[in-house]
C-alpha cells in the first residue's frame, strides 16, 4: 500500500512522467467475458481505430 501511495503522489508532481509498477498477485488475472452486448454498446472500442492505430492518451 505504501508503494502505491508513493507512486500516486509522484504522479501529482509538476515534473511527473510515466509510472510503471509491478505488483505480485496471489493468482494471475484471468480472462473474463465482456458484460452484455459489448460490441453494440462500445462500437469504437470493439472495432478499433482506422488503420489499426492504437488509442493513445
Pairwise pLDDT comparison (2 vs 18), residue with the higher score: 2
Query: How far is the C-alpha of 17 from the C-alpha of 10, rounded, in Å?
Result: 8
Helices within the chain (DSSP H only): 2-11, 38-41, 43-47
Query: How far is the C-alpha of 49 from the C-alpha of 32, rounded, in Å?
Result: 23
- What average pLDDT score do residues 15-26 get? 80
Position 25 confidence tier, pLDDT thresholds 50, 70, 90: confident
Predicted TM-score of the model (pTM): 0.34
Q: State the pLDDT at residue 45.
A: 82
Q: State the pLDDT at residue 50.
A: 84
Amino acid at each position: 500500500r505504501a508503494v502505491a501511495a508513493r507512486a500516486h503522489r509522484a504522479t501529482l508532481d509538476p515534473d511527473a512522467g510515466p509510472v510503471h509498477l509491478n505488483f505480485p498477485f496471489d493468482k494471475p488475472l484471468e480472462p473474463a467475458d465482456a458484460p452484455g452486448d459489448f460490441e453494440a454498446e462500445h462500437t469504437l472500442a470493439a472495432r478499433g481505430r482506422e488503420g489499426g492505430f492504437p488509442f493513445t492518451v
